[in-house]
A and B are shown apart, each in its own frame.
Chain A
Amino acid sequence: MPNIFFLMLRRLRTPIITLILIYAVSVFGLVLIPGMDDAGQPYRMDFFHAIYFISYTATTIGFGEIPYAFTSAQRMWVLVCIYLAVIGWAYALSSIFALTRDQALTKAIQYTRFTSKVKRMNEPFYLICGYGQTGRILCQVLDTQDIRFVVIDLREERINDVALADYHFDAPFYAGDAANPELLKIAGLSHPRCIGVLGITGNENTNLSIAITAFVLRPKLLSICRSKNQEISDNMASFGTNKVINMFEAVGQQFQLAMHAPAVSHLRKILSDFPGNPFPPSIKPPKGHWVIVGYGRFGRSIHKALSQEGISVHIIDPDPQPELDPQIYHQALGVDAASLKTAGIEHAVGLFVCHDDDANNLSSLATARAINPALFIVARQNLATNHLLFNAFAPNFISIRSEVVAHEALRAMANPLLAQFVLALVTKEDEWASQLTIDIDNLCQGIVPEHWTVRLNAKNPAAVQAFLARPLPSLQIKHFYHSVIDHGRPLQCIALLRRHGEKDILLPKADDMLRYGDELLFIGDHHAQQSHQAMCSEVSLMEYARTGVEQPQSWIFRKIAAWRERS
């Protein structure tokens, strides 16, 4: 900031010197010209009165002629002074305004402000590169979870939306190229409070260079990058990127899981949705003949998923696809009845519309539904702004690219234990998952629960007390289910995962003995989360949860309690 201040002063040198000269000449003129006091005696104005007079005259305030009425000679000179001063001020003010509208200077000011704001961040934050549709969703979710973030994006008009987005706190933002390592550094990549970097710009090479920069500057930092094709994904992964989101692959895998084990897929969706949202609907895609309209990267990944499940498909695409069997493919746009009928839409159970153009998707969807109203339709929505149109046609499932990426990113960011749980989920049975889904539903009444981790380590004073200072009664998971205010009342939470060392136990039992060094993953409502947080920092609360007896807090009462115990 000081540099900019002097930079401005330097550009304003001429107007300031002009003003000083005008004032000096005016004042000196007034001092030189003889006046007359009210007794008719000759009188000379002194410097103090001259400066006073010129100051209010030059700024057009005009208090009148002091200390005595002026002579004609003085009035003549004051006339000159007035015009000089007005010109001087007009020149100075216009220079100042011109300077504030100067593009280069505004940019410099923004840059300095951004730098100092990032430097002053004193809470953990994420660095988000790219403020497109995905970036917006992620920022909103982070904001509701009171996690801070810094945003950079190439485009000025996009980045200005951050200021208007009404976040709870003042998120630093800057318009610049995220591929520039210098900018990433200033945006907080090497800041000690930075806990992760997200490369979700529209440009894959930019995302790749974010991955590289993150690897070079902070090899241990959580980095999440988006890519559209496999080579870039591999390249990113080779730079130690923790999570590469290949959005087309992700959609295909999700769909395959939904077909294979609908309850597991539903549970997975619930756990990776944003806390506070209503439960995502469960989808059960029927098995039978499917039609895929549009064979881009999205369609390819769906085709792969379906053929792994052994489902017959027919593909329609406007471009020739030589690698496909001509039996299951024909060349058309897929928006007219004829081409859909050739694909066997009449006896199909499901339809995928995945062009990269929303208008084509909608028209294909409408035509197919007119032919076969019972179709299960999955539609790809490209632009978040088109949701009104898609909702009107009501396909069974809408896949929005930006939301898919946001969910995937969030899962990677949120909580390593949760990510572990979701990963382990895939191997579980459908019945197991549906039972757990019902439990979660009872817990939170159809709202996606919050999730948090309790670490029983040396940083947790209550754990030290419970394991080392007073090991009896031994700490069990059920102690975490009690309210810390009213012992009998249960907290709305479930322990999903217990990790001891390298071993993970899914859904640990309530009477499992806990051991020092355990990590527990809970889901539940906000109240339960707050209670656990309080419990871990406050030894007495943990004692209360363990024993149900409120321990005396002060020295005197402890003495009294010990004495009463003895007697």
Chain B
Amino acid sequence: MNLEKVIFGFFILLAFTLNFGFVIGQIDVAHQHDVNELFAAIVVNLIATVIKFGDRTQVGALHLATSLVADLQLIAASLVWWNALYITQLGMTPAITTTIVSLSAGALAANLVSVILLIGETLQHRR
């Protein structure tokens, strides 16, 4: 067992699961989507991105790209949230909640690709 592979897989999966946990629920109901979970998802995604730095293979590049997409979408979602609370001060209306959740659902798709890549890579190298 290779510790590096464990850490790598752990963060990618955790980024996916946290993101999934945040997205699940009715899309326009604010209390079904926890802000703490979004925060955790962003942090874990950032770490996953850094872990993927420096892999020069084609798959490595794709890995990094998916992570960057997920980061972008999640940070965009948090900015929408912040905008609703402090700038427009509308609060969490169903429309805004929908925007936030759908943005993070996009990130979820990127994370899903990442997980598929991980699985594919593992299957390719099985002994």
Residues of A within 8 A of B (CB): 3, 6-7, 9-13, 16-17, 20-21, 23-24, 27-28, 31, 46-48
Are B53 and A10 in contact, CB atoms less than 8 angstroms apart? yes
Complex contact A47–B47 (CB within 8 A): no
Known A17-B47, A20-B43: A6·B53 in contact at CB below 8 Å: yes
Residue pair B50, A48 in contact (C-beta under 8 Å): no
Contact B85 A46 (CB under 8 A): yes
Contact of B35 with A by CB under 8 A: yes
CA distance A150 to B78 in the complex (A): 52
CA distance A103 to B114 in the complex (A): 35
Contact of A21 (CB < 8 Å), options: B36, B47, B78: B47
Residues on the B chain within 8 Å of A17, using CB: 47, 50-51
B46 interface residue, CB < 8 Å from A?
Answer: yes
Q: Which residue of B lies closest to A48 (CB)?
A: B82
B47, B50, B51, B78 — which one has the most chain A CB atoms within 10 A of its CB?
B50
Q: Are A13 and B53 also in contact (CB < 8 A) when A21-B47, A48-B82 are?
A: yes
10 pairs of A and B residues whose beta carbons are closest in the complex: A10-B54, A24-B43, A9-B53, A16-B50, A10-B53, A20-B46, A48-B82, A17-B50, A17-B47, A13-B50
Give bound CA distance, A27 to B46, whole Å. 15
A172–B42 alpha-carbon span in the complex (Å) = 44
| A27 adjacent to B39 (CB under 8 Å) | yes
Contact A20 B47 (CB under 8 A): yes
Query: 18 A–B contact pairs at CB < 8 A?
Result: A6-B53, A6-B54, A9-B53, A10-B53, A10-B54, A11-B54, A20-B46, A21-B43, A21-B47, A23-B43, A24-B39, A24-B43, A27-B39, A46-B35, A46-B85, A47-B35, A47-B78, A48-B86
The smallest beta-carbon distance between A266 and chain B, in angstroms, is 63
- CB nearest neighbor in A for B44: A24
Residues of A within 8 A of B53 (CB): 6, 9-10, 12-13
Contact of B85 among A10, A16, A21, A48 (CB under 8 A): A48
What CA separation (Å) do A48 and B83 show in the bound complex? 10
**Distance A3 CA – B54 CA, assembled complex (angstroms):** 9
* Chain A residues, Cβ within 8 Å of B35: 46-47
* A96 CB, nearest partner CB in chain B, Å: 14
Residues in B neighbouring A13, C-beta threshold 8 A:
50-51, 53-54
Expressed in whole angstroms, the minimum distance between the Cβ of B26 and any Cβ of chain A is 22
Chain A nearest CB: distance from B73 CB in Å?
A: 17
Q: How far is the CB of A478 from chain B (nearest CB, A)?
A: 67
A84, chain B: closest CB distance, angstroms: 15
Cβ contact within 8 Å between B36 and A9 = no
Inter-chain contact A28/B39, CB cutoff 8 Å: yes
The docked-state distance in angstroms from the alpha carbon of A28 to that of B39 is 8
Given the complex of chains A and B, what is the CA–CA distance between A46 and B82 in angstroms? 10
Taking the closest CB of chain B, its distance from the CB of A238, in whole angstroms, is: 43
Inter-subunit contact A9/B86 (CB<8 Å): no
Residues on the B chain within 8 Å of A11, using CB: 54
Q: Give Cα A11–Cα B53 distance, bound, in whole angstroms.
A: 9
Q: Which residue of B lies closest to A25 (CB)?
A: B43
Shortest beta-carbon distance, A497 to chain B, in Å? 58
Closest to A9 in B: B53
Nearest-CB distance from A215 to chain B (Å)? 36
Residues of chain A contacted by B40 (CB below 8 angstroms): 24, 28
Taking the nearest CB of chain B, how far is it from the CB of A152, in angstroms? 28
B9-22 contact mask (Cβ, 8 Å, vs A): 1 or 0? 00000000000000
**CA A48 to CA B79, docked complex, whole Å:** 9
Q: Measured between C-beta atoms, what is the minimum distance from B40 to chain A in Å?
A: 8
